[in-house]
Structure 1
Amino acid sequence: MTRPLRVAIVGAGPAGVYAADVLTKSETAVEIDLLDRMPAPYGLIRYGVAPDHPRIKGIVSALHRVVEKPEIRFLGHVDYGVDVKLDDLRRHYDAVVFATGATKDRPLDIPGIDLPHSYGAADFVSWYDGHPDAPRDWTLDGEQVAVIGAGNVALDVARVLAKQADDLLRTEIPDNVHRGLADSKVTDVHLFARRGPAQAKFTPLELRELDHQDGVEIIVHPEGFELDEASEEAVRTNNQVKTVVKTLQDWALRDPKHDTPRRLHLHFLRAPVEVLGTDRVEGFTVEVMELTGDGGVRGTGEYETYPVQQVYRAVGYLSSPLAGIPFDHASGTVPNEGGRVLDLDGQHIPGVYTTGWIKRGPVGLIGHTKGDALETIGNLLADVESLPEPEEPSSDSVLRLLEERGVECTTWEGWGRLDAHERALGEAQGRERIKVVPREEMVRISRAE
């Protein structure tokens, strides 16, 4: 091939950026377009991570160093399946890599889950992270709130619900989010985990962050705090499990404070059964579980009901189907073999690949997507000689197509303008940044219009 390999990566979050990084470090000359439906890059880091996670936010610096490489071009505010389709991309690129992640809530099939004031965690996260497609307002009018889940997203949701609004002013939260949290009536947040403390999916750092909040008492309820044979083995052999269990044990044994305006309760071995209410959430029923000795649990037939007024389910994320691409609805992934996208007959669709959560499901930490990228891009590069030749491989031809279709795409230079604008908004209030929320305003600032 006498010209650079042209690759479109759909999704400019960590998975897409890591894939671009691997490509630029190969011996193959490449031109990469990072396409994203958002006007700004970074995906999950900007719109899926709690704003008070400075360590996670630090990943932005590493992503920035990749996207500013000369081989990479960012094209934001381009919605795959609406502005461009698969045939368009295959006409302009040698290969297409889908890295669109998982942004929807996995459903929880229990009675009452669809009552008003019962929410998916992803929707709440989108609100407090200032996602332009999320509602601007969020009503926090209940004193007692339930959070269902035992992973880091559940911890984030519970922590933000319990946090004093002014404690978040050092972060980039938009003004409407601060107002919503300041008006919150929440006094007690109850987090319910179906299994025991040794089976929780919390990471130690995220768990300990719960205890770094002024005015919030962490209460670990001893009912359900049990370790069976498998749990004790996990504590002995896994340092992460050991740290999580030790942290929880320490909290369970310390003296109560009694004088905090808010409390965050951790309940283990409590499985969701039913959300109660008529016109809105009025209660939440759980079944008491017991460990089976092998790390599993079973129901005891004993039930407890909590008088909560809101419920948040954090039971996992789910990817969305992509236009023109096969999709496995059960697993929420694109069928693939080593990142090579497969058609309905199990054959590789030439030149089409996938990486990240839409490839393997929404499990693992952000760093795990690096392994996905290495495998996918390794297979893409192995296929170079057999890739179909695009009809219009010129780098300008895609820009002409978008212009013809009236797509107001944003660029890396435009992100620099938006980034500077948000930092200036923050500086005026003694903060690092204040995030711009409306999509049309993001586009206007990025395009200097």
Structure 2
Amino acid sequence: MTKLRLAIVGAGPAGIYAADLLVKAERHFDVSIDLFEQLPAPYGLVRYGVAPDHPRIKGIITALREVLDSGVIRFFGNVRYGVDITLDDLKKHYNAVIFATGAIRDASLNVPGIDLEGSYGAADFVSWFDGHPDVPRTWPLEAQSVAVIGNGNVALDVSRILAKHADDLLVTEIPANVYEGLKASPVTDVHVFGRRGPAQVKFTPLELRELGEMNDVDMIVADEDFELDDASKAAIESNKQVFVINKVLNQWRERPVGQASRRLHLHFYAKPLEIVSDGAGRVAAIRYERTKPDAAGGVVGTGEIREIPIQALYRAVGYFGSPLDGIPFDDHHGVIPNHEGQVLDDHNEVIPGVYATGWIKRGPVGLIGHTKSDAMETLSHLVRDQANWWSPADPSEEAVPALLASRGVAYTDLEGWHKLDQHELALGASDTPPRLRIKVVPREEMIEISRA
């Protein structure tokens, strides 16, 4: 029987689910799958892109762990595609490759002053508070008043971590340096800006409810933002999720405020126009225009300009993919050009043996359910494309570990991840009070524990 030797680059949910679905799929060939990840640990944005006070979402890791522990997939961590292993290497040792590298950069925002000192991308901040090994371990939390631009779940995560009292995060896996940084933060006010109304937000009811459960934080919403047009009313009546969000926001309007030491302000119908400088290159204020409904679900400007003093700003307007060595890349959309997961060249022709799935395929939209259906679409082409697979010169399973070792790559494997996992769980259990886990942050220490 024919055997497919498959490389998957990226060990987040997209890559792991693609591997699992292929193993379980109906097919007329055997499979051997190697999963490559640039970090020493697997799980991608589930480990490094979900706020530490989201244990329910991190439960996804349980399902991913079952896939990795099934014994049919090999894991190679701390391996950088394009550096430690190249496209030519993959062609020599595999029949095909699926890129599942996700999107980890911040999307840009074309607003004057966005590059001032004190203006940050949400993705970098999330990586910091999640203990990503490749970002600095300090963060400048010096502002009393902070702006967050965006009306999606990442904007809510960032806003919640900024506004929440650090002691309330001690039950989570928050790294010690992150706790210390947040503990010293002088923040009193966090302002969240969205250019459309409360019926058009992109966050989910669960995320919104969690925002309102913070200790000693007032939720501030303005009555003027709830004069709904017919399109907004129709959305509330026809969409259960929008209905729940509207209900939660209206409950906050009735809450008494004024006693908490911190405030989180939600500004709807607010289009950022400029980040104002203090004259010395630092963020001093955000200037925005009030918008209003256009009767079709969108908004138009009113000409009314407002300004709020701030000392820091975070843009949470989406993630963006990164180019990969030897693979076509769409610089405008931040994805690999593809047709249903088949990677396309500059002439829009299918490149044999090269596939994509997840956010690097479709952009940073959708939840885990979308990731699975997305992988199935890609895999359907991979299975049908058997006649166009690569013909590797050395498909032996021993060849790749030997290649990495010859290049001095300190790669981690599944056994190594189990060691690191148990080490982090033990650190959490021995803490006072006990916690589920304490992450090891430095890359070198992660590798040392994994390869012990």
- Deviation string, structure 1 residues 51-96 (Cα, Å, up to 9, x no partner): 1111110000000001112210010000011111111111111110
- Deviation string, structure 1 residues 416-443 (Cα, Å, up to 9, x no partner): 0001111111111111111111001101
Contact 1:225 1:268 in 2 (8 A): no
Q: How many residues align?
A: 446
- Quick one: distance in 1 between partners of 2:383 and 2:169? 45
- Deviation string, structure 1 residues 274-326 (Cα, Å, up to 9, x no partner): 11113311111111111101001111111111111000000110000111010
- Quick one: distance in 2 between partners of 1:57 and 1:323? 31
Matched, 1:270 2:270: yes
Contact 2:129 2:174 in 1 (8 A): yes
Tell me which amino acid in the other structure corresponds to 1:416. H
Name the structure 1 match of 2:393. 391
- Quick one: distance in 2 between partners of 1:298 and 1:83? 50
- Quick one: distance in 2 between partners of 1:341 and 1:386? 13
Name the structure 1 match of 2:436. 432
Name the structure 2 match of 1:63. 64
How do 1:237-248 and structure 2 match up within 5 A? 237-248=238-249
> How much has 1:388 moved relative to structure 2?
2.1
- Quick one: distance in 2 between partners of 1:87 and 1:229? 57
- Deviation string, structure 1 residues 156-181 (Cα, Å, up to 9, x no partner): 00000000101111111110000000
- Quick one: distance in 2 between partners of 1:322 and 1:291? 41
How do 1:4-403 and structure 2 match up within 5 A? 4-27=3-26, 28-256=29-257, 258-277=258-277, 278-403=280-405
> How much has 1:232 moved relative to structure 2?
1.1
Contact 1:340 1:376 in 2 (8 A): yes
Tell me which amino acid in the other structure corresponds to 1:7. L
Unaligned runs of at least 5 residues, structure 2? none
> How much has 1:127 moved relative to structure 2?
0.3
- Deviation string, structure 1 residues 117-157 (Cα, Å, up to 9, x no partner): 10000000000000011110012111100000000000000
Question: Per the alignment, in what secondary structure is the counterpart of residue 282 of structure 1?
Answer: strand
Tell me which amino acid in the other structure corresponds to 1:108. L
Contact 2:94 2:390 in 1 (8 A): no
Contact 1:223 1:268 in 2 (8 A): no
State TM-score, norm by structure 1.
Answer: 0.98
Tell me which amino acid in the other structure corresponds to 2:21. V
State TM-score, norm by structure 2.
Answer: 0.97
Contact 1:223 1:267 in 2 (8 A): no
> How much has 1:363 moved relative to structure 2?
0.9
- Quick one: distance in 2 between partners of 1:7 and 1:225? 53
Question: Per the alignment, in what secondary structure is the counterpart of residue 224 of structure 2?
Answer: coil
- Quick one: distance in 2 between partners of 1:92 and 1:134? 33
Contact 1:224 1:270 in 2 (8 A): no
> How much has 1:367 moved relative to structure 2?
2.6
Contact 1:94 1:389 in 2 (8 A): yes
Name the structure 2 match of 1:445. 449
Tell me which amino acid in the other structure corresponds to 1:357. W
> How much has 1:221 moved relative to structure 2?
1.8
- Quick one: distance in 1 between partners of 2:326 and 2:230? 48
- Deviation string, structure 1 residues 372-427 (Cα, Å, up to 9, x no partner): 10100111011123312111100111111111111110001000000111111111
Q: CA RMSD in A?
A: 1.0
- Quick one: distance in 2 between partners of 1:221 and 1:233? 21
- Quick one: distance in 2 between partners of 1:306 and 1:88? 54
> How much has 1:331 moved relative to structure 2?
1.1
Contact 2:337 2:361 in 1 (8 A): yes
Tell me which amino acid in the other structure corresponds to 2:276. L
- Quick one: distance in 1 between partners of 2:159 and 2:51? 11
Contact 2:76 2:411 in 1 (8 A): yes
Contact 1:144 1:307 in 2 (8 A): yes
- Quick one: distance in 2 between partners of 1:143 and 1:97? 45
Contact 1:24 1:30 in 2 (8 A): yes
- Quick one: distance in 2 between partners of 1:90 and 1:173? 41
Contact 2:116 2:283 in 1 (8 A): yes
- Quick one: distance in 1 between partners of 2:153 and 2:344? 32
- Quick one: distance in 2 between partners of 1:202 and 1:5? 40
Q: Report % sequence identity.
A: 60
- Quick one: distance in 2 between partners of 1:254 and 1:293? 30
- Quick one: distance in 1 between partners of 2:108 and 2:227? 28
Contact 1:196 1:226 in 2 (8 A): no
